[in-house]
Chains A and B, each alone.
Chain A
Amino acid sequence: EVQLVETGGGLIQPGGSLRLSCAGSGFTVSSNYMSWVRQAPGKGLEWVSIIYSGGSTYYADSVKGRFTISRDNSKNTLYLQMSSLRIEDTAVYYCARTIYYAYTPTYYFDYWGQGTLVTVSS
């Protein structure tokens, strides 16, 4: 059974840094595309970042240069290193296994973790 468990959220001051983890089980994280998606309180979903199985990484403009996605293959774990945090980064952060369909290029998310709340506040 595919499972994703996020940890690492919490209260952080503006300008601070935080690292989120997402432990996978029932599948191999490094063999899949993996993403982070966030949801501000009471708002919709916003894609944050993706890492391809080959290691390429991409980011939403809102976090580019501040967030870094990575993985540890030995731990089957995905990470999101967040720095220079802003109040508007406050959200529940979900990791999601990402499916890439090549024939008519598209991405979608077939498994999600339960999310971890990041609150940026002074």
Chain B
Amino acid sequence: SYELTQPLSVSVALGQTARITCGGNKIGSKNVHWYQQKPGQAPVLVIYRDSSRPSGIPERFSGSNSGNTATLTISRAQAGDEADYFCQVWDSSTVVFGGGTKLTVL
């Protein structure tokens, strides 16, 4: 089965740029979606199909995908961005999620 690998945690200083990676075999050939989940809340879609932003998601959130790594980039990180982030793909007729990355804003 297809596996997605995310770092357990990423830290970023307030106002700086955070990059969260999602690794998978030839993931660049797949569509990658990203979700933000704050404690006690449901996930929220922040990036779909590699780099598209749903309405209401700030332009500070962007995505890229190439080779074996997809990346969620959060520019000018704010305290409110502190959350768990999950990547997701569709493979072999099933949905696959990464294990999640806890983003800490220092």
Contact = CB atoms under 8 A, between A and B. Distances in A.
Does A pair with B? yes
Given A47-B94, A47-B95, A60-B94, A110 B86 contact: no
**Do most interface residues of chain B lie in helix, strand or loop, or is the interface mixed?**
strand
Contacts, number: 59
B54 A114 contact: no
Nearest to B47: A108
A9 to B, nearest CB: 14
Contact of A45 (B44, B48, B97): B97
B35 to A, nearest CB: 7
Given A94-B42, A99-B48, A106 B97 contact: no
A36 to B, nearest CB: 11
Interface residues of B, number: 24
Interface string B15-53: 000000000000000110101000001111100110000
Interface in A70-103: 94, 99, 101
Interface of A: 35, 37, 44-47, 50, 58, 60, 94, 99, 101, 104-110, 112-115
